[in-house]
């Protein structure tokens, strides 16, 4: 079996972590008996500065036939983020209907959480983030009305279809896991979209009598992720709230450099995109100290998605074993001195 994979390393440490993680996935192929046909796309901010666009006009046509996409990160300190992100990552998520953004948080053995009293295995939840509409709908405008009179409107879009499909996926996940779903909204302040969202959660809940539903406002949820993370199983949230909650998830499980993510089109009508939760990290770029494990674990999610669950488990086990081994190489975010490539090569060897 050969899988047709697109890579978009993108900007900053995105390039380093994808370069480091790819050999791990190829090695998984050797061990578990499949191959990758990789097409690397040099789309990103450098291209934008030379040619005026983050990606070519036919980018989506080029990506569409692929089995999956592995992306590093997008964003450069010299170009406004709304230009780069609306020019590359966000249009792919939307065009390919990747409405499920699945972001697991696992505290691995051997990794220190900044939360006191939590050890490996104590934290294990997954956020189902709505990924195509909500606060990222790109509806609004800005007007300069002279003097100090600027006005900007940024609307959030919630459709029944859009909410129902992510909520149903989250319920399915909860029923396969520990049977608990936390619905995170802000329906005390946002009485339209968030109330529609809450109503739909209540409706869909009737299809899943085995799942217990908890309701939290996003401010309290942020607090509780820090205060009692062990009690969460599956969380479902809008695009923006899911974004914020998953940075909290990353840091309480030890590092931004450990958190993977899958942007999935569950129907398989379009390719899904796998990427670390983190960004291009301009503060550490060019030093080869970025932790590659978030990207390696995103690669494991890719393997699972294309139909290689054993290889996915193999990669996860190799990462788990590395993190649990006191003498194994670690990048500085985990208190070590190893480079991005040393860490990735060590995972590869453990496969
Ligand atoms: P960031 O995730 O890039 O960095 C936040 C902090 O985490 C930094 O201190 C960074 O050094 C650290 N960090 C991140 N990844 C790490 C890794 N693999 N190993 C070790 N440390 C790591 O967030 P930011 O600084 O807010 O954003 C930087 C740029 O990235 C911005 O342009 C932003 O828009 C973009 N961004 C892109 C994505 C994406 O492409 N999916 C995600 C988030 C941010
Ligand atoms: C993420 C990022 C993106 C998001 C940004 C860069 C647009 O923060 O993938 O978490 O908000 O989705
Ligand atoms: Mn984010």
Claim to verify: residue 244 and residue 132 sit in the same structural domain: yes
How far apart (Å, rounded) are the C-alpha atoms in residues 22 and 30?
Answer: 13
Contact 96, 36 (CB under 8 A): no
- Read off the pLDDT of each residue in 19-34 and give the average, rounded to a whole number: 98
Instruction: Using DSSP, state whether 297 is helix, strand or coil.
Output: helix
pLDDT of residue 308: 98
For residues 139 and 110, the answer to whether their CB atoms sit within 8 Å is no
d(CA 107, CA 335) in angstroms, rounded, equals: 16
User: What's the whole-number mean pLDDT along residues 296-304?
Assistant: 98
The torsion defined by the Cα of 53, 54, 60 and 62, in degrees rounded to 10, comes to: 100
Q: Which residue is catalytic, options 243, 270, 333, 346?
A: 243
> In the annotation, is 99 catalytic?
no
Asked, for residue 274, whether it belongs to a domain, the answer is yes
- Determine whether the shortest distance from the Cβ of 291 to ligand 1 is under 6 A: yes
Beta-strand runs (E) in the chain: 2-10, 35-40, 68-73, 100-106, 124-130, 134-143, 151-157, 180-185, 212-217, 234-237, 260-264, 272-276
pLDDT of residue 153: 96
pLDDT band for position 33 (cuts 50, 70, 90): very high
CA distance 262 to 80: 25
Those residues with Cβ within 8 angstroms of residue 116's Cβ, 6 or more apart along the chain or in another chain: none
How many Å from the N-terminal Cα to the C-terminal Cα in the chain? 19
Task: Tell me how far the alpha carbon of residue 147 lies from the centroid of ligand 2, in angstroms.
Answer: 33
178 found inside a domain: yes
Same domain? 89 vs 47: yes
**Ligand 2, closest atom to CA 90?**
7
The residue among 194, 218, 252 that closes a domain is: 252
Query: Which ligand does the CA of 239 lie closest to?
Result: 2
Question: What is the tally of structural domains in the chain?
Answer: 2
3-state helix, strand, coil in the chain (%, to 5): 45, 20, 35
Q: Ligand 2: which residues within 6 Å by Cβ?
A: 85, 90, 243, 277, 279
Instruction: For ligand 1, say whether the CB of 294 is within 6 Å of any of its atoms.
Output: yes
* Listed range (47-56, 148-157, 268-277, 283-292) with the worst mean pLDDT: 148-157
Question: From the CA atom positions of the chain, what is the Rg in Å?
Answer: 20
Q: Whose CA is nearest to atom 38 of ligand 1?
A: 279
State whether the beta carbon of 283 lies less than 6 angstroms from ligand 1: yes
Distance CA 259, CA 155 (A): 29
Whether 195 and 128 share a structural domain:
yes
Chain mean position to CA 168: 19
Residue that finishes a domain, picked among 204, 233, 252: 252
Catalytic residue check, 192? no
Is residue 205 one of the residues assigned to a domain?
yes
202 domain-assigned = yes
Q: What is the mean pLDDT of residues 160-173?
A: 98
CATH number at residue 86: 3.40.718.10
Question: Does 247 participate in catalysis according to the annotation?
Answer: yes
pLDDT at 144 over 90: no
Residue 305 has pLDDT above 90, yes or no: yes
What b/e sequence results for 228-247 when a residue is b if at least 16 CB atoms lie within 10 Å of its CB, and e otherwise? Answer: ebeebbbbbbbbbbbbbbbe
Same domain, 189 and 237: yes
Go through the chain and tell me how many residues it has: 351
In this structure, the answer to whether residues 147 and 66 fall within a common structural domain is no
Q: Tell me which residue has its CA closest to atom 7 in ligand 2.
A: 85
Instruction: Report the largest interatomic distance among the alpha carbons of the chain, rounded to a whole angstrom.
Output: 66
Do residues 269 and 247 share a domain?
A: no
135 and 246 both lie in a single domain: yes
DSSP letter string, 165-177: HHHHHHHHHHHHT
> Looking at the domain assignment, is residue 105 inside a domain?
no
Give the chain's mean pLDDT: 98
pLDDT at 4: 98
Task: Say if residue 184's pLDDT is above 90.
Answer: yes
Q: Is residue 321 part of a domain?
A: yes
In a domain, 247, yes or no: yes
Torsion of CA 61, 242, 249, 63, to 10 degrees: 0
Cβ-proximal residues to 18 (8 Å cutoff; 6+ apart), any chain: 7, 8, 9, 10, 70, 71, 72, 295
CA torsion sign for 220, 222, 224, 226 is negative
* pLDDT score for 313: 98
Residue that the structure tokens 């792919």 belong to: 92
* Structure confidence by residue, pLDDT tens digits, 241-269: 999 999 999 999 999 999 999 999 999 99
Residue 148: band (very low, low, confident or very high) from pLDDT cuts 50, 70, 90 = confident
Ligand 1 lined by 150 (C-beta under 6 Å): no
Q: Does 114 reside within a domain? A: no
Which position has the token pair 């669950």? 309
Same domain, 216 and 311: no
Kindly tell me if the per-residue pLDDT of 271 is higher than 90: yes
Q: Looking at the structure, do residues 71 and 172 belong to the same domain, yes or no?
A: no
Rounded to an integer, the average pLDDT of 294-306 is 98
> What is the model's pLDDT at position 146?
83
User: Which of 213, 235, 252 corresponds to the end of one domain?
Assistant: 252
Position 69 pLDDT exceeds 90: yes
Residues 71 and 90 in one domain: yes
Q: Do 156 and 234 fall into the same domain?
A: yes
Task: Report the pLDDT value the prediction gives residue 147, as an integer from 0 to 100.
Answer: 78
Task: Find the catalytic residue in 37, 119, 219, 317.
Answer: 219
Instruction: Encode pLDDT of 75-90 as tens digits.
Output: 999 999 999 999 999 9
243/141 same-domain check: yes
CA distances (Å), origin 111, targets 50, 329, 340: 42, 13, 17
Catalytic residue among 41, 99, 118, 136: 136
Range of the domain at 173: 124-252
């Amino acid at each position: 079996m050969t899988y047709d994979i697109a890579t978009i390393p993108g900007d900053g440490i995105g390039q380093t972590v994808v370069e480091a993680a790819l050999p791990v996935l190829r090695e998984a192929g050797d061990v578990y008996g499949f191959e990758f046909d990789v097409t690397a796309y040099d789309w990103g901010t450098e291209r934008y500065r030379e040619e005026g666009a983050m990606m070519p006009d036919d980018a989506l046509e080029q990506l569409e036939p692929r089995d999956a996409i592995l992306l590093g990160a997008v964003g450069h300190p010299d170009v406004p983020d709304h230009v780069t992100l609306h020019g590359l990552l966000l249009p792919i998520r939307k065009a390919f209907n990747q409405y499920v953004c699945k972001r697991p948080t696992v505290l691995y053995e051997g990794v220190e959480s900044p939360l006191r009293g939590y050890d490996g295995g104590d934290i294990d939840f997954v956020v189902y983030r709505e990924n195509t509409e909500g606060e990222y709908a790109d509806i609004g405008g800005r007007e300069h009305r002279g003097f100090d009179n600027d006005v900007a409107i940024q609307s959030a879009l919630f459709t029944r279809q859009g909410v129902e499909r992510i909520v149903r996926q989250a319920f399915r996940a909860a029923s396969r896991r520990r049977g608990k779903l936390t619905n995170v909204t802000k329906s005390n302040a946002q009485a339209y979209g968030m109330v529609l969202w809450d109503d739909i959660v209540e409706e869909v809940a009737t299809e899943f009598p085995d799942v217990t539903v908890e309701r939290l406002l996003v401010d309290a949820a942020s607090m509780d992720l820090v205060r009692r993370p062990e009690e969460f199983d599956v969380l479902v949230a809008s695009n923006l709230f899911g974004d914020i909650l998953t940075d909290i998830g990353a840091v309480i499980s030890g590092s931004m450099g450990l958190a993977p993510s899958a942007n999935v089109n569950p129907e398989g009508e379009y390719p899904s995109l796998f990427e670390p939760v983190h960004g291009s990290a301009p503060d550490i770029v060019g030093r080869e100290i970025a932790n590659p494990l978030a990207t390696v674990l995103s690669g494991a999610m890719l393997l699972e998605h294309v139909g290689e669950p054993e290889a996915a488990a193999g990669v996860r086990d190799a990462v788990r074993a590395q993190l649990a081994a006191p003498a194994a190489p670690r990048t500085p975010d985990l208190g070590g001195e190893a480079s991005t490539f040393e860490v990735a090569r060590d995972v590869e060897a453990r496969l």
